[in-house]
Structure 1
Amino acid sequence: MTCRSKQLPALLLGTALVASVLGLGTVATAAGSGDTPAASAVGHTGHTGHTAAVSTRASGDDPDGDGYIPAVPPVTDVTPSQATPPPRYHKEFQANCAVTHTAPDDPIVYPGQPGKSHDHTFMGNRTTHAGSTTASLYGRDTTCLAPADASAYWMPSLYKGDRKISPVGPQVIYYKAGVTDYTSVRPFPKGLRFVVGDPMQSAQQFRGHKGFVEGWECGDSFFNTDIPATCPSRPDVQLNLRMQAPSCWDGRYLDTPDHKSHMAYPVVKPGTNDNMCPASHPVALPMIEFKMAWPVNGDMSDVRLASGRGYSFHYDFFNAWEERTLKALVDQCIVGGFQCDARGYDLYHPERAAVLNADYRLP
C-alpha cells in the first residue's frame, strides 16, 4: 500500500514532470545529495540503460513500488553535531574487495529488471544481480577481505575497444569520517543503498561534484575529468580514479526514488572550516571513497566506460554488513580517530589491537 504522505522533492517532481510532458521518461536529479540536478539531461539521447532513472517499481524491498524504503525504526533523535573533537589526521578503515562478475544489471536503479542497465562491474557480494534485496545479500559469500562485509559495490564497466578491463585484486574502498566531529559517526543501517554521481552528468558537473577527489589519473597526470588519451606504457602505471560518497543520512529512508535524496554531503559550519551534516540529513555515517585501479595504459584513445565518457563515472553501494562487525570497525577506527587497514589495525598505533583476527573475523 502506497503511503500518500511520501513526496518527492519539488525539484525532482518538476524535472520528472518536464520529462513526462516531453515523452522522455524519467530523468535523474540529485536533490538533497549536493549534486548538480541533471535537468540538462532532458532531451539527451544515451544508449540503453544510460539513464539514472527514478524507480517506481515493486521489488523485494519495496513491495508497494513507490521508490521509498523506510528505515525501521527511523532515526529521529539526532541533531547535526557541531562539536570539534581533538584533531586526528586519519579516521578511517579499509574494505578491500575484489571484482566478482560483470552484468547489465542494477538492483538499485532497475530492481528486478535483468539486462536493463549498461554493463556494471560488481565487487564484494558474489550473488549480486538485478533482483538482489537486503535479505538475499545479507550473510552471503563475498570477495571482501572481511567475510562480514557482504555489501554490494558496483560501477560501470571499463572497455578498451571491445575488450572489457576489470580491476585486478582487492580494490581499496575507504570508510572515513566526512564530518569534523568524527566521534559522531555511526554505522550504516542495514539495507541502506545509494548512487554516487550520475551517468548523465556533463564534464563540468563531474568536475564540480562534491565527491570529486583527483579525477582520472595515470602516471603524473591528475585531475582529469575524462579518461586521458595516453598514459605512460610502464608496468607500474594503471588508470586510477577516486570518488567520495555523501555521508549524511536523513534517518528516515534506506532508499528514495532518485536513490540520492535520502543522503547529503556535509556542509561547512558558518564562520569555521568545520564540516557538519545539514539539518535535513542530521545522521553522520561513514564516508565511502572508491579508489579504483584498472590495468590499462599506453594508447587510451579507445578506452571508455559502459556508461559513456569518463565523466559519466558513478557508483552504487548496497549495505549488507554484519552489524556487530561494522560497528566494531567504525567505533575503533573512525570514532577512535585511527588509520586502520581491513582488520581494523593502525600500524602507527600498535598498542591498539586489531579489531578482527587473522581471518578478518570478529573474535
Structure 2
Amino acid sequence: MKWSALTLGLAGSAQAYLRFGCATLSVQRLDPIVEPGKVPSSHVHQIIGGNAFNASMDPKTDIAEKATCTTCSFSEDFTNYWTAVMYFKARNGSYKRVGQYPNALLGSLTGGMTVYYLQQDFNSNGKQKITAFKPGFRMTVGSPTSKTGSNPGLRYTCLKDVMTRFPETADFPKEPCPAGIMAIHHFPACWDGKNLDSPNHQDHMYNTGKGGFVAAGACPSSHPVRMPQVALETMWDTTPFNDKSLWPTDGSQPFVWSYDDSKGYGTHADYLFGWKGDSLQRAMDSTPLLSNGLKTQSVAAANKCSVQASVKEEIDGWLDKLPGM
C-alpha cells in the first residue's frame, strides 16, 4: 500500500509540511527522557519510531546511526515519539487499555500516531529559516501534574467520524464519542540555539503556538531559532465503551491516562530526535512537500519494526490497578 496521505495539501506550491504515520513500536513502562535508566518507569507509554529505543538513551549517541528500522513511513526518520496510554475505568474500579487505530488516510498501520512537521502552517512556508533538530536533541510538552488546560496545543477531539477535527477541548470529552477520541500534542518550535536539552526538558524551547495548525507567533530573543512545529495525533478507539451504563453512576466520563488522570489536563508527549543525516533539514528547506529525495517505506515494513519489552508485566486485559500506580 502506498502512503497516499503523504501528498495531501499540495494544491499550491507554497504549501510545505510533512504529514505521515508511524505504527506502534512498543507499549511499556519506559521513559528515557524523564526517567532515564529506570526500569520500569512510573507509567505506561505508547512509543513510535526507531528501534534504538530503550531505557537509557545516551544524548551523545546519534540514534539514527544506531537504529536498524523504524515504524514511520519515512524510512530515514528514526526519531522516537511517545505519549501516555489511555485506559477505561469500569464501575467496579478495574481498568482496560483502550486500543488505537490509524488515521483513515494512513493505511493499515498497527495503532501508532499521525506526525506533522510544519514550517509555518498548512498554507504557507512562511519566510523564516526553519532549522532542523540536531542529534541528541530532546524535548517534552505538557506535564502529568498539570491541573489546567492552559496550553492551547494540548487538546482532545470527540470524533463524530474518523475525519472530525473540531471542536477541540482541553479535557476529556464528557459524552460518548461515535468514532473515538483524538488526543493532540503540539510541541514548542522556538529554540535557544544552544542547548539540546534542559533539566526539565522544556526550558531550552519556547512555545508561541496558538493552538490548532495556525501560524505560531514570533520567537522571542531568548529563543530566537525557529524549528519545525511538531505535532502528534493519536486516535483512541473508545467505541467499545460507549454504552453509558458502563460509565460512572455520577455521569462523569470514564477514561484515564496511565498516570491516573481523569481530567486530561496532564496529557504530555516526549520527542527524541533521530532523522538520518540532513534529511529533515532538506525537507524543511524545500518548497514543495517531499522534495529533496526523502525516502519512504511500505506499511508492511513499518508494522514489522518493533522492540522487545524490557518490562514484564500485564498491561492489557482487565487490571485491578494501573501499572505502576
TM-score in terms of structure 2 length? 0.68
Partner of 2:139: 194
After superposition, where does 1:148-227 map in structure 2 within 5 Å? 148-161=76-89, 162-168=95-101, 169=109, 170-178=112-120, 181-202=126-147, 205-206=148-149, 208-212=150-154, 214-219=155-160, 222-227=167-172
Equivalent of 1:356 in 288, 294, 303 = 294
Q: For residues 267 and 102 of structure 1, do their structure 2 counterparts lie closer, same or farther at Cα, with a shift above 3 Å needed? A: closer
- Tell me, yes or no, if structure 1 residue 118 matches structure 2 residue 56: no
Note the 1:1-363 alignment, pairs <5 A. 90-134=15-59, 135=61, 137-139=63-65, 140=67, 141-161=69-89, 162-168=95-101, 169=109, 170-178=112-120, 181-202=126-147, 205-206=148-149, 208-212=150-154, 214-219=155-160, 222-233=167-178, 237-266=179-208, 275-297=217-239, 298-299=242-243, 301-307=253-259, 308-309=261-262, 310-332=264-286, 336=287, 338=288, 340=289, 344=290, 355-357=293-295, 359=297
Inter-CA distance 124–106: structure 2 relative to 1 (3 Å threshold): same
Q: CA deviation at 1:210?
A: 4.1
SS at match of 1:266: coil
In structure 2, the CA distance between the partners of 1:226 and 1:357, relative to structure 1 (3 Å rule), is closer
Structure with bigger RCO (C-alpha 8 Å, 6+ apart)? 2
Name the SS of the counterpart of 1:326 in structure 2.
Answer: helix
3-state SS, counterpart of residue 215 of structure 1: strand
Tell me how far apart the structure 2 counterparts of residues 111 and 194 of structure 1 sit (CA, whole Å): 13
For the structure 1 residues 155 and 293, does the alpha-carbon distance in structure 2 shift closer, same or farther, using more than 3 Å as the test? same
1:249–1:285 Cα contact (<8 Å) kept: yes
Contact 1:121–1:166 under 8 Å retained in 2: no
The one-letter code of the counterpart of 2:294 is: L
Structure 2 unaligned regions, length at least 5: 1-11, 90-94, 102-108, 248-252, 299-325
Give the length in aligned residue pairs.
Answer: 247
Secondary structure at the aligned position of 1:241 is classed as strand
Q: Distance in 2 between the 1:324 and 1:283 partners?
A: 17
Secondary structure of the corresponding residue to residue 320 of structure 1: coil
How far 1:102 moved relative to its partner?
Answer: 1.3
Task: Pick closer, same or farther for the CA change 1:178–1:109 going to 2, 3 Å.
Answer: farther
Q: Is the 8 A contact 2:190 2:206 kept in 1?
A: yes
- How far does residue 232 in structure 1 lie from its aligned partner after superposition? 4.1
Equivalent residues of 1:181, 1:276 under 8 A apart: no
Report the residue type matching 1:155 in the other structure: T
Distance 1:89 1:231, change over 3 A: farther
- Structure-2 separation of matches of 1:267 and 1:157: 24
Match in the other structure for 1:69: none
Map Cα deviations across residues 173-228 of structure 1 (whole Å, 9 max, x no partner). Answer: 100125884441111111110110111111xx32x21424x534222773222222
Deviation string for 1:76-127 (max 9, x for gaps)?
xxxxxxxxxxx98744112421111112111111111121321111111234
Unaligned runs of 5+ in 1: 1-86, 345-352
Over the aligned positions, Cα root-mean-square deviation in angstroms equals 2.8
**SS of residue in 1 equivalent to 2:32:** coil
Higher helix share: 1
Distance 1:92 1:136, change over 3 A: closer
Rg (Cα) greater in structure: 1
Give the distance between the partners of 1:136 and 1:331, measured in 2 at CA.
22
Structure 2 CA distance, aligned partners of 1:147 and 1:267? 28
Distance 2:208 2:254 in 1: 37
Aligned-residue offset at 1:152? 0.6
Distance 1:136 1:187, change over 3 A: closer
Counterpart for residue 104 of structure 2? none
**Pair 211,357 (structure 1): closer, same or farther in 2 beyond 3 Å:** closer
- Measure, in 2, the Cα distance between the counterparts of 1:158 and 1:167: 9
Residues of 2 paired with 1:155 and 1:145: CA distance? 19
Letter of the 1:171 partner, please give it.
M
Preserved CA contact (<8 Å) 1:210 1:265: no
Q: Does the CA-based 8 Å contact 1:192-1:319 persist in structure 2?
A: yes
Of all paired residues, the percent bearing the same amino acid is: 24
